[in-house]
Amino acid sequence: MKISIIGTGYVGLVSGICLAEKGHQVICVDVDQMKVEKINKAIPPIYEKNLEALLKKNINANFRATTDLYQSVLETDLSLIAVGTPFDGTEIDLHYVKEASRQIGMAMRDKSSYHVVVVKSTVVPGTTDDVVLPILEHASGKKAGKDFGVGMNPEFLREGEAIEDFMFPDRIVMGGMDDKSIGVLEKMYSVFDNIDMLRTNNKTAEMIKYTSNSLLATMISFSNEIGNLCAAIGGTDVVDVMRGLHLDKRLSPIMDNGKRITPAFTTYLQAGCGFGGSCFPKDVNALNAYGKKLGKPMWLLEAVMKINEQQPRQIIHMLEKHFPSLEGVRIAVLGMSFKPGTDDMRESPAIPIVTELIARNTNIRAYDSVAKKEAMKLFKDKNIVFCDDLNQTIHGAEAILVLTRWDEFENLHQIIGKCEKQPLIIDGRRMLKKHLIKRYEGIGL
Ligand code: UDX
């Protein structure tokens, strides 16, 4: 199939290159000329595992990037809208979605064959039918359902695992205004084998995306709240509590062969210094605001956000237990990105933590081999030294904070074992071998 993707950000580019790898002819469109040139030279504009290899393989074959939206729509059967939908504090900003829809519509005006426009951006329920569809009709002068189709196909891509998630998805949700629109989406995904596919309407597809992220975020805040109580009780460990919880067959079912479907202790029930990234905070806040607007406040989700906003403070509290004043304390911060596998600093818990440490006049060295550049941009001109080497970072530190679950930190006990004076270790991700560390503090302990 011939597919154009409008918006070559994280979602657009990953979707585009994976669809090309699956055999479709894909054109990725972006307004940023520099980005387009980079992509066409197979240089990934973002850090994502396996992206470069796939770009190299598919560029000039099944895949190319361009700034020419008009021509791309004319040459393809289906356009995916994958532009950003930033949350401005009260609602998601649909400016880019509307502009993309308008331009697709203008191009469709000059097209005689049936075209399908599919929203991939995360948008609140009703956006595809009530905002995108009318703009398309108005700009094209054509009739939805007759001359063109409209669909909604949310993405469930984790940063750092996005290519893998796209190629081997848990499920594909295909929303559409009618059977014909969904049929075109089905054709696009027919190259995927053995995947659960859900056909539904646009509004439900939109709601599935928010609901999914909201539940995962709720599980994390739940674990963090329980963890904070465990810490207050003393002598209870949230890691064991969650492991005990998760051995319930209703959470980890046992298959016919006697094995559990999921590992005994899965992700999203891990207490830590909070969730970040471009999705969870934005989507939970957006659904909250949307509910409020409809006169249906989302009490649970409000609490999920409140817990998350306070969670980074736990790290500071743990430090305060050991240092009467933080002024001048030599602190090594390990991990800056919001999670491993990415250089993304958006909403990373490291931001409020480091900001507070700077305000307290501590002596900070930070290390993140992938996110260093991004972190340096954020803390430009601030009193913080960024190191290139783990040993150099922790040398002479009185306290070491682990804020991102990078594999590299797993054997920290071995490195600090060699230190003359044992630093305090604060495990913000509960990833270290606590029994091998002399001075250990961890979330939920
Ligand atoms: C998420 C969803 O997983 C994905 O389906 C959606 O489309 C986009 O948002 P992503 O933001 O890449 O993906 O990150 P994810 O791996 O889900 O982690 C989000 C945050 O939660 C990270 O900051 C992570 O450190 C934190 N987290 C995750 C926890 O604190 N505890 C956990 O148990 C799991």
Which numbered atom of ligand 1 lies nearest the CA of 220?
Answer: 31
pTM above 0.90, yes or no: yes
Among 230, 273, 279, 387, the one annotated catalytic = 279
Residue ID of nearest Cα to ligand 1 atom 8:
279
Can you name the CATH fold of 211-310? Rossmann fold (3.40.50)
Write down the pLDDT at residue 264.
53
For residue 167, CA distances in Å to 14, 150, 194, 195, 204 come to: 10, 24, 12, 10, 23
Write down the pLDDT at residue 263.
61
Nearest to 213, CA basis, from 165, 123, 284 = 284
Q: What is the DSSP letter of 277?
A: S
Per-residue pLDDT averaged across 230-239, rounded?
A: 97
Position 236 pLDDT exceeds 60: yes
DSSP secondary structure letters along 346-386: TT-THHHHHHHHHHTT-EEEEE-TTTHHHHHHHTTTSSEEE
Break the chain into its structural domains and give their ranges. Answer: 2-200, 211-310, 313-442
At 408, list the tokens. 């590299």
**The CATH number of domain 313-442, selected from 2.60.40.10, 3.40.50.720, 3.20.20.70, 1.10.10.60:** 3.40.50.720
Let me know if the fold of 2-200 is the same as that of 211-310: yes
Ligand 1 and 121: CB distance under 6 A:
no
Write down the pLDDT at residue 248.
86
Ligand 1 and 267: CB distance under 6 A:
yes
Paired with 442 in beta bridges are 427
Per-residue pLDDT averaged across 129-133, rounded?
A: 98
Residue ID of nearest Cα to ligand 1 atom 15:
158
Q: What is the pLDDT of residues 53-107, one digit of tens each?
A: 999 999 989 999 999 999 999 999 999 999 999 999 889 999 999 999 999 999 9
For 2-200, CATH gives 3.40.50.720
Ligand 1 and 277: CB distance under 6 A:
yes
Mean of per-residue pLDDT scores for the chain: 96
Which numbered atom of ligand 1 lies nearest the CA of 268?
Answer: 33
Question: 3-class DSSP state for residue 145?
Answer: coil
Which numbered atom of ligand 1 lies nearest the CA of 219?
Answer: 33
Band of residue 259 on the pLDDT scale cut at 50, 70, 90: confident
Pocket perturbation via mutation, ligand 1, pick of 158, 273, 315 by most ligand atoms within 8 A of CB: 158
Band of residue 409 on the pLDDT scale cut at 50, 70, 90: very high
Cα of 275 vs centre of ligand 1, distance in Å, is 7
Task: Based on the residue annotation, tell me whether 28 is a catalytic residue of this protein.
Answer: no
Write down the pLDDT at residue 267.
78
